[in-house]
Chain A
């Protein structure tokens, strides 16, 4: 069984063909880059997606050496994300599905991150730290849903890094630039550290870091140290509460080495296994959508065309997992 996964929630338009046994046959992405110092402009990003969509789709089929008719199902990211961007992926998916009569599966983007992470790392029943531009959540699977054990009370870790990065002139996503600058110093400037039980709040930290941004390297270093220590502490608290024996980190910020090293040290302390999604698949990509689509296909029929909407706001803990 072959599934085409279409991702277009934010800056990435991607298509991938994945087989039911977990083999990724193709993975093609095009990323919209805003001008330096600016964030994603939804209209501009969606224009980029429209212009790239045909090429990305064709490339992904060619890379997999298949024709559209060989596809058994099509999955697309129905949310959460930027409306104009989501609609591009949904239109492509619906058109293919209705023209070629292929069953259609709208999937939750972040659940895709988790499912692909499990596939690639081999984690069985992990406690999940999901850190990206759209999410910062601590999750465990219980009674048919991913339950939230802790989360950010305002902006996400990805937004924190991006918004600070933009204020010093980088273009989103800026995690990598910040990581590189931070590596150049080890002088720590005290910044607000806000942990509320298993929850964190980053907005005050963002303002405080902006106020020391004239010392770029020190600011980046201190920002990373503080924010990652906060999320690590919240993770350790929730981990110790749930007594899970595996920790998996997924999402775009999972690519950061400093963060994964901190979490590794926590796992050692809490005597639990540590899994991090391979860097190549940490960011938004097609395989995450395709794989979740394949999993959903084991439990239910495809969605009717008129129900294949997009949902900009779609809370992860509201999704029933039937597979």
Chain B
């Protein structure tokens, strides 16, 4: 097995499953974390990620196929997705992808799921399909506040890592999102995004 990425959550290995190229994602123990806390986090996220990846598929979101879940070792074997991370795409393509990301996030929200870690490195462009990965922080919720947290995180990433095309990518995302959830819901959620932003340190003038 070849280690292909040491992520913040877990390590990704390239492996084979039923002769198919696949990914083993294993959430290893983190020595710096208290063992009780560590065990709970790793277990909970492994279960949640595998469940929600499958559920998202049921309403048409492209996600990797899950082959095996090992709760004891906190590992998941899943389909290997060939392609490029949206983060690493050239600017014009990235802007277009943000529209599709908007549709995906809208669909997830409409079906009561928040992704929890919406960054441009959690979408893979694979043969004209946009595949959503990394559901470790996902949650089942229909609360507009939770959905706003999703949007805010993406906005933060667009405004930092992709700041030179922030306006275009954000507008592109919102138009995709609106197409799915409708303008009333969009207004409600973006309003809450502003509320969350205003809670940030020194965001508003005293």
Q: Spell out A's residues near B (CB within 8 Å).
A: 80, 83, 134-137, 140, 142-143, 147-154, 156, 188, 190, 193, 195-199, 225-226, 229, 232-233, 236-237, 239-242, 261-262, 265-266, 269-271, 312-316
Q: How far is the CA of A229 from the CA of B36 in the complex (A)?
A: 12
Does chain A have a CB within 8 A of B7? yes
Is residue B117 contacting chain A, with contact meaning CB distance below 8 A? yes
Min CB gap A162→B, angstroms: 15
B1 at interface, CB cutoff 8 A = no
A153-B200, A229-B37, A241-B121 provided; 16 other pairs, C-beta below 8 A? Answer: A83-B206, A137-B201, A148-B156, A193-B41, A196-B137, A197-B117, A229-B34, A232-B32, A237-B8, A237-B117, A270-B6, A271-B6, A313-B205, A315-B201, A315-B203, A316-B202
A148 x B160 contact (CB < 8 A)? yes
Contact of B160 among A142, A154, A229, A314 (CB under 8 A): A142
Cα distance A262–B30 in the bound complex, in angstroms: 10
Q: Across the interface, do B206 and A313 meet the contact criterion of CB distance under 8 Å?
A: yes
- B161 contacts A242, CB within 8 Å? yes
Q: Are A156 and B153 in contact (CB under 8 A)?
A: no
What is the predominant secondary structure among interface residues of chain A facing chain B?
A: mixed
Q: Is there contact, CB below 8 Å, between B153 and A199? A: yes
* Cβ-Cβ contact count across A and B, 8 Å cutoff: 112
**Complex Cα gap A199–B196 (Å):** 12
Q: Could you tell me the distance between the alpha carbons of A233 and B34 in the complex, rounded to whole angstroms?
A: 13
Do residues B156 and A198 form an inter-chain contact, with CB atoms below 8 A? yes
Within 8 Å CB of A135, what residues of B? 201
Residue of A nearest to B35 (CB): A188
Q: Count residues of B near A (Cβ-Cβ below 8 Å).
A: 39
B202 and A315 contact, CB distance less than 8 A:
yes
Contacts of A197 in B (CB 8 A): 116-119, 137, 153, 156
13 A-B pairs with C-beta separation under 8 A: A137-B201, A143-B163, A143-B164, A147-B163, A152-B201, A156-B201, A190-B36, A196-B149, A197-B156, A236-B8, A241-B157, A265-B31, A266-B32
Asked if B58 is at the interface of the complex by the 8 Å CB criterion, the answer is no
- Residues of chain A lying within 8 A (CB to CB) of residue B87: 241
State the CA gap A9–B123 with chains docked (Å).
42
Q: Which of B101-148 contact A (CB under 8 A)?
A: 116-119, 121, 137
Residues of A within 8 Å of B152, CB to CB, are 199
**Docked pose: A239 CA to B31 CA in angstroms:** 18
Query: Given A147, A154, A240, A265, which contacts B199 in the complex, CB threshold below 8 Å?
Result: A154
Q: If the complex has contacts A153-B200, A188-B37, are A233 and B8 also in contact, measured as CB distance less than 8 A?
A: yes
Closest Cβ of chain A to B107, distance in Å, is 19
State the Cβ distance, A271 to closest chain B Cβ, in Å: 8
Contacts known (A153-B199, A195-B137); A261 close to B32, Cβ less than 8 A: yes
* A240 close to B206 (CB less than 8 A): no
Q: Which chain B residues (32-53) contact chain A, with CB distance < 8 Å?
A: 32-34, 36-37, 40-41
Chain B residue at smallest Cβ distance from A154: B199
Give B196's nearest chain A residue, CB to CB. A153
CA gap between A140 and B157 in the complex, in Å:
12
Q: Return the chain A residue nearest B149 by Cβ.
A: A196
Residues of A within 8 A of B163 (CB): 142-143, 147
Q: Is the CB of B201 within 8 A of A151?
A: yes
Whether A313 contacts B6 by the Cβ 8 Å rule is: no
Which residues on B sit within 8 Å (CB–CB) of A233? 8
Q: B residues within 8 A CB of A154?
A: 199
Among candidates A151, A265, A312, residue contacting B200 with C-beta atoms closer than 8 Å? A151
Given the contacts A313-B204, A313-B205, A315-B202, A240 and B8 also touching, CB distance less than 8 Å? yes
- For the complex, give the distance between the alpha carbons of A271 and B33 in Å: 18
* Chain A residues with CB under 8 A of B9: 237
- Contact indicator B160/A140 (Cβ below 8 Å): yes
* Complex Cα gap A271–B5 (Å): 12
Cα(A134)–Cα(B37), bound, Å = 27
Closest residue of chain B to A79, judged by CB? B202
In the complex with contacts A137-B201, A140-B160, A312-B206, A198-B153 CB distance below 8 A: yes
Bound Cα distance from A36 to B30, whole angstroms: 37
CB within 8 Å for A134 and B36 given contacts A199-B153, A242-B161, A269-B6: no
Q: Would you call A229 and B199 a contact (CB within 8 A)?
A: no
